[in-house]
Structure 1
Amino acid sequence: MEKSGGSRAAVDDEVHGTPVLSRDQAEGYVAMVCFKHGPPRLHGVELEWTLHHEDDPARAVELTDLARALGPHAPTTVDPHSPHLPLPAGSLVTVEPGGQVEISSAPTPSVAFLLEAAATDAAALGELLAPHGLRRGEHGLDPHRAPRRILRTPRYDAMEDFFAAIGPHGPRMMCSTASLQVCVDLGEGAEAVHRWDAVHALGPVLTALFGNSAVMAGSDTGWASARLRSTLATAPPATFAPVRCADPVAQYTRMALDAPLLCVRRAQGPWTAPPGLSFAGWVAEPHRVGREPTTADLDYHLSTLFPPVRPHGYLEVRYLDAQAGDGWVTPVALLTALLSRGTTVERVLEATEETADRWLSAARVGLADPALTRAAAAVVELAVSALAGLDLPGAVAEEVARQLQERIDDATSRRCSA
């Protein structure tokens, strides 16, 4: 969910960065830091898992369990004295509020290297956990336990209070969900707009293809991706997918500045934000917080927004459920293949035109939606053709293609027998 829990030690002073004195200044800053144009070259992946005791998956995992298992790889939110060493292939381990573990790869232009490095570090993480009787979950939502926060930081205290006032989905998102996140470059010029549109238009289709979070705390939710349902409902409308438009930069910037503050960093006292105050409101009425906001405050605010695709200078695709075992390889290869060429991106937009706004249907029924099945079949056909343009070993590309076609065939078979 986020690389730092926001410890007090990180806030030496309440004032950081350049003061933000106007909305125009804030808008320009968001556009600059979130939408960095450049040739699409690099890829990254973030793999997240719920964590369970091998002998009793429903038993709570404690922070001390994590500290022992992760050792020198533990983040400082788990062990303040940890050196937080990277795993063998360079990924850093982070821990989410409910004890979910995540590894984040370094960006690379090679998809083959990305998959190999992430697989190496995922295996290394498993080897750290196993001697302590811990294992990683296989779903995008904890199927055994209700949400329970074990990581205590000022950031998460404030966020939990904010989300709880809206409903149950925020605490679930914080403490019970696990996602697969794919990071890709934005691109440049008109290409950047098309890639932005394409990664969003693919959301319902890929949610339907890879939904993996139907059970929560022992009960069937009736949703193919109850994780995405909770994420979308965490803090609407900031957690909704944007409507396609000609100027997504201005659209996202407006959303970010008008979104309520989830927390305000302080050297002393809780990080609770004034109720209903947006970042734009803080700029206009700094007395409500007691000081002017800064660019560092704006950076932090941007890290508390959870849309399906989050721009970080690159695009962080956040709508995929965690997959069992090495099942994450297929959606990562699929998405990178679909974005590998401008012509393929254009065809993606055509294939998903009917389904680009079917987020809730995808989360609820997945490929039982006939329109999503049709779009998924077209997208898979595009991806299988595009795999040849990646630097993947032949056996990996063939296995990805096989798994994708198997999902389409299974969906078609279920529809025919219904």
Structure 2
Amino acid sequence: MKPKELHPLVAELFARGRRRSVRVAVEQEFLVADATTGAAVPIERVRRAAAGAIAAPYLGFEPGGQLELSLPCTLDPVGQVRTMVDDIASHLAAAHLTIYALPVDPRPEHEVPLQLTSPRYVAMHRHFDSIGPAGRRMMRRTASTQVCLDWWPGRAGLEQWRVLNLAGPYLAARFARSSGPHGRLSTWLDADPARTGFDDRLLVGDDPIAAYTAFAAGAAVFTAGGPGEHLTTMFPPVRPRSTYLEVRFLDAQEPFAIGRVINALTSLMYDATHRRSVLRALEPSRGELASQWRAAAAGELDLELVA
């Protein structure tokens, strides 16, 4: 994909908001199992069970059938998550289904088939298979907690982008619930390094739009939808989404623990003194970001630095 085709679309991804609002939205993923057998469950059975739930409008699915609650922006994300998860869990339990906030599915691969079979997902599956086994494990057997945060204009917004990327390994390690070669983070690191960007490529230079454009142009194209669709197949640890930033590097958290995650992220994003202090501490080691991500995935990152 040529950079000149991607650049205007990437510029839109980096537009940033016009106001300094502090809203948060949570995307919470769960593994789903039959309550009796523990087996994977067809997506349509889950949809039927969730019909009528207040959380139903926010229900989605990942390729292996993982359930995702994509909740709207709110000033009380912790209370919202608690209410929505309790609601959806109750409806599913009535249909003998159970959800688990686990970052990696313990069931073997052959028991967790690819359930979303649109051309995009089939092409993605095929592409990842050409690299190794991690991609299909990522698609079908991992779950995360993703947090979306308002992205500010001006200097503050540039700082927000850098601090989330630089602090990513430490935050991932702090809230890790899996580690080692088959942990969720290791799986992402191995899936397709050209499109996941767990290094300092996105922070090179003073122009984040140019850096992201080069990043996207360097990834193999496996869909037929043009540059716009190609950009949706980029999976960096922090994804630019025009007016907000999407944190994607966290293991799936238990709902009761999400408040601690949100506190850490909002402090980095919205407390200027703290944000700049962390940037001063981490900028000198930017070139070590790739090794920091590897150490975080292996469970070997210095816990004092994490603190």
Say if 2:19 is the partner of 1:27. Answer: no
* Structure 2 equivalent of residue 338 of structure 1: 268
Structure 1 counterpart SS, 2:246: strand
In structure 1, the partner of 2:125 is: 160
Please, what TM-score do these two structures have when normalized by structure 1? 0.66
Q: Deviations over 1:303-344 (max 9, x none)?
A: 111111111112111000001242222112221122222221
Whether 1:148 aligns to 2:113 is yes
Q: What's the CA shift for 1:353?
A: 4.8
For residue 162 of structure 2, the aligned residue among 197, 215, 240 is 197
Conserved 8 A contact 1:37-1:189 = no
| Helix, strand or coil at the partner of 2:257 | coil
CA pair 107-119 structure 1, distance change in 2 beyond 3 A: same
Which residue type is aligned with residue 176 of structure 1?
R
User: C-alpha distance in 2, partners of 1:157/1:106?
Assistant: 29
Q: Could you list the per-position Cα deviations for residues 172-223 of structure 1 after superposition, in whole angstroms to 9, with x for gaps in the alignment?
A: 1110010111111222222222111100112111111111124xxxxxxx35
C-alpha spacing 1:130/1:249, structure 2 compared with 1 (3 Å): same
Aligned length: 296
**Cα distance between partner residues in 2 of 1:354 and 1:364:** 23
Is residue 308 of structure 1 aligned with residue 226 of structure 2? no
TM norm structure 2: 0.88
How big is the shift at 1:25? 5.3
CA distances 1:36-59 after superposition (whole Å, capped 9, x unpaired) = 2433423211101111122333x2
The question of 1:53 aligning with 2:34 is answered yes
Q: CA deviation at 1:301?
A: 1.9
1:230 paired residue number: 187
1:128 aligns with 2:91: yes
Q: What is the alpha-carbon distance in structure 2 between the residues aligned to residue 339 and residue 172 of structure 1?
A: 31
* Structure 2 counterparts to residues 348-363 of structure 1, below 5 A: 348-353=278-283, 357=289, 358-363=292-297
User: How do 1:5-404 and structure 2 match up within 5 A?
Assistant: 23-24=3-4, 26-41=6-21, 42-57=23-38, 59-71=39-51, 87=55, 92-108=58-74, 110=75, 113-146=76-109, 147-214=112-179, 222-223=180-181, 226-243=183-200, 244-245=203-204, 246-265=206-225, 297-313=226-242, 314-353=244-283, 357=289, 358-365=292-299, 368-370=300-302, 373-377=303-307
Counterpart of 1:51 in 2: which secondary structure?
Answer: strand
In structure 2, how many angstroms separate the alpha carbons of the residues matched to 1:87 and 1:204?
32
Distance 1:37 1:325, change over 3 A: closer
C-alpha separation between the residues in 2 aligned to 1:336 and 1:165?
Answer: 38
Structure 1 letter corresponding to 2:241: H
Higher mean C-alpha displacement, 164-173 vs 249-258: 249-258
The 3-state SS of whatever aligns with 1:171 is helix
Matched position secondary structure for 2:250: strand
User: Given residue 174 of structure 2, which amino acid in structure 1 is its aligned partner?
Assistant: L
The residue matched to 2:195 in structure 1 has which SS? Answer: coil
Whether the aligned pair in 2 keeps the contact of 1:352 and 1:375 (CA below 8 Å) is no
**Do 1:205 and 1:355's aligned partners in 2 also have CA atoms closer than 8 Å?**
no
For residue 394 of structure 1, what is the aligned residue in structure 2? Answer: none
SS class of match (1:103): strand
Q: Distance in 2 between matches of 1:369 and 1:256?
A: 28
Check conservation: 2:223, 2:229, Cα contact below 8 A: no
Q: Which amino acid aligns with 2:237?
A: P
CA distance in 2, matches of 1:249, 1:176: 32
Distance 1:25 1:174 in 2: 28
After superposition, the Cα gap between the structure-2 partners of 1:355 and 1:210, relative to the gap in structure 1 and judged at 3 Å, is farther
Bigger helix share: 2
Q: Secondary structure at the match of 2:196?
A: coil
Name which one, 1 or 2, has greater alpha-carbon Rg.
1
Which AA in structure 2 matches 1:261?
Answer: V
Q: Check the 8 A contact 1:322/1:328 in 2, yes or no.
A: no
Q: How many angstroms apart in 1 are the aligned matches of 2:6 and 2:255? A: 42
Contact 2:101/2:254, CA 8 A, preserved across alignment: yes
- 1:378-399, Cα deviation, whole Å (9 max, x unpaired): xxxxxxxxxxxxxxxxxxxxxx
Paired residues of 1:35 and 1:186 also in contact (CA < 8 A): no
Whether the 8 Å contact between 1:142 and 1:177 is mirrored in structure 2 is yes
Q: How far apart, in 1, do the equivalents of 2:248 and 2:192 lie?
A: 15
Q: How far apart are residue 154 of structure 1 and its match?
A: 1.7
Whole-Å separation in 1 of the counterparts to 2:174 and 2:64: 27
Superposed displacement of residue 72, structure 1 = 5.8
Quick check: 1:141–1:178 contact (8 Å CA) kept in 2?
A: yes
CA 255–353 in structure 1, closer or farther in 2 if over 3 Å, else same: closer
Report % sequence identity: 32
- CA change 1:34–1:242 in 2 (3 A) is farther
Residues 247-256 or 170-179, more deviating: 247-256
- How far 1:24 sits from its partner (Å)? 3.2
Q: Contact between 1:44 and 1:182, CA under 8 Å: does it hold in 2? A: yes
